[in-house]
């Protein structure tokens, strides 16, 4: 099920009514990967306020360009880049470059510059997060049934043997292409939407857009500010009450990406809930105490990869990572309902209701 930004529950409309554009950091919610559902771009509005919509990368996407700068044809051409990126990077489309890499059985696969670039970025994110973000975790993601939507709890032996195939240092990327150990597989699901959003944002800016808001499922990207100079307001969903929000953040020229366990999960026969973000060090769904992680960064691919990584790493390691690298801010929700907000974004974040906020420095 995809959530469109028009699906704003009534209990939030009044408090946020002053906002001219509410964009919800909602998700590509729910179901299994079903790539290839792209069936065109729908453009509405005038030059002053034009909106393009499409379904691609398993999610509903909208691009709202304000204050002119691009024509409807230009907007369409920019948005068409996304299904093209998807056709290379999808793990479920049999013709994609990633499917070729995953079918290579230990041989080297030649890839395009774009695929090489995103894999190289992914390896950097793995090194930065000490393996919490790892595209080679795919054999595990698949074993838990998150790709096909056929959920199951794998046995301990199965997880143990799959862990032997996982590890970003086992992937080699050189002039010849991508090489994985036999049986190894990759999945760019935790970074591809962020990467695509950056390309779409740059294309729109090159075409002349100076004020725009892009919503690619749980990924929000903005160009400039609103035409009146005020910031874009992005509401962040409450992972414990999906009809409500933990608060909102006011931003310009940046990306906001949320990863939540609620987006894809199932309950096992043991009564436990299992979700789609896997801790590559254990082979099990991550249980760090963080149940929703939002990352704010100028670079959307970084924000996307880190939103997944911080979900795996938890509160303490997230703070350590930010102290070490800077270049991003975050908002975490913990399983006891707590909110942890990094110092650099705390002034721009407004919690909703009576929530207490812990500021991470």
- Residues at the site binding ligand ADP, with contacts judged by CB under 6 A: 27-28, 133-135, 137, 141, 146, 187, 189-190, 217-218, 259, 263, 276-278, 280, 304, 307-308, 312
Cα–Cα distance for residue pair 326/345, rounded to 1 Å: 12
Q: Which residue, 308, 302, 276, is CA-closest to 33?
A: 276
Tokens for 190, please give them.
């935790």
Count Cβ neighbours within 10 Å for each residue of 24-59 and write b for 16 or more, e otherwise: bbbbbbeeebebbebeebebeeeeebbbbbbbbbbb
Tokens for 298, please give them.
């100028």
Which residues inside 323-342 make contact with Mg ion, applying CB under 5 A? none
Least Å distance, CB 37 to ligand ADP, is: 15
Q: Which does 239 bind (CB under 5 to 8 A by kind): Mg ion, ligand ADP, none?
A: none
Using the rule CB under 5 A, which residue among 102, 297, 308, 342 binds Mg ion?
308
Q: Which does 238 bind (CB under 5 to 8 A by kind): ligand ADP, Mg ion, none?
A: none
Instruction: For residue 49, give the H/E element and its range.
Output: strand 49-56
Using the rule CB under 5 A, which residue among 24, 190, 256, 360 binds Mg ion?
190
Cα–Cα distance for residue pair 148/33, rounded to 1 Å: 7
- For residue 164, the tally of other CB atoms under 10 A from its CB is 12
Least Å distance, CB 303 to ligand ADP, is: 10
Q: Which does 189 bind (CB under 5 to 8 A by kind): Mg ion, ligand ADP, none?
A: ligand ADP
Q: Which does 27 bind (CB under 5 to 8 A by kind): ligand ADP, Mg ion, none?
A: ligand ADP
Between 96 and 308, whose beta carbon lies closer to Mg ion? Answer: 308
Evaluate the CA torsion angle 119, 76, 217, 359 in order and state its sign: positive
Q: Which does 121 bind (CB under 5 to 8 A by kind): ligand ADP, Mg ion, none?
A: none
Q: Which does 277 bind (CB under 5 to 8 A by kind): Mg ion, ligand ADP, none?
A: ligand ADP
Least Å distance, CB 264 to ligand ADP, is: 6
The pairing of strands 49-56 and 59-66 is: antiparallel
230: DSSP letter = P
Between 50 and 318, whose beta carbon lies closer to ligand ADP? Answer: 318
- String of DSSP letters for 110-154: ---HHHHHHHHHHHHHHHHTTTSS-GGGHHHHHHTTTTTT-----
Least Å distance, CB 353 to ligand ADP, is: 25
By rule CB under 5 A, what count of residues binds Mg ion?
5
Residue 304 binding Mg ion, by CB under 5 A: yes
Between 23 and 70, whose beta carbon lies closer to ligand ADP? Answer: 23
Task: Give me the residues that bind Mg ion (CB under 5 A), please.
Answer: 190, 259, 304, 307-308
């Amino acid at each position: 099920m995809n959530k469109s930004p028009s699906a704003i529950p009534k209990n939030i409309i009044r408090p946020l009514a002053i906002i001219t554009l509410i964009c919800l950091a909602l998700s590509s919610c729910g179901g299994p990967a079903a790539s290839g559902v792209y069936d065109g771009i729908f453009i509405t509005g005038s030059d002053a306020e034009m909106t393009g919509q499409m379904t691609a990368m398993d999610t509903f996407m909208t691009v709202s360009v304000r204050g002119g700068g691009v024509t409807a044809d230009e907007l369409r051409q920019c948005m068409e880049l996304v299904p093209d990126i998807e056709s290379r990077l999808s793990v479920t489309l049999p013709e994609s470059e990633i499917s070729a890499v995953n079918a290579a059985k230990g041989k080297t696969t030649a890839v395009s510059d774009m695929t090489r670039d995103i894999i190289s970025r992914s390896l950097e994110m793995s090194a930065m997060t000490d393996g919490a973000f790892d595209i080679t975790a795919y054999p595990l993601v698949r074993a838990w049934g998150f790709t096909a939507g056929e959920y199951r709890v794998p046995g301990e032996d199965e997880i143990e043997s799959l862990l032997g195939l996982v590890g970003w240092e086992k992937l080699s990327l050189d002039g010849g292409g991508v090489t994985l150990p036999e049986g190894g597989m990759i999945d760019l699901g935790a970074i591809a939407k962020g990467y695509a959003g950056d390309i779409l944002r740059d294309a729109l800016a090159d075409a002349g857009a100076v004020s725009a808001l892009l919503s690619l499922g749980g990924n929000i990207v903005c160009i400039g500010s609103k035409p009146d100079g005020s910031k874009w307001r992005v509401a962040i969903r409450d992972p414990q009450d999906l009809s409500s929000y933990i608060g909102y953040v006011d931003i310009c020229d940046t990306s906001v990406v949320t990863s939540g366990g609620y987006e894809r999960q199932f309950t096992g026969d043991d009564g436990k809930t299992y979700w789609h973000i896997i801790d590559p060090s254990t082979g099990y769904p991550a249980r760090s105490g963080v149940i929703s992680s939002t990352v704010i960064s100028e670079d959307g691919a970084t924000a996307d990869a880190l939103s997944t990584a911080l979900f795996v790493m938890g509160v303490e390691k997230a703070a350590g990572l930010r102290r070490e690298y800077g270049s991003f801010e975050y908002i975490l929700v913990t399983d006891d309902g707590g909110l942890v907000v990094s110092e650099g974004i705390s002034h721009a974040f407004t919690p909703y209701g009576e929530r207490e906020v812990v500021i991470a420095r």
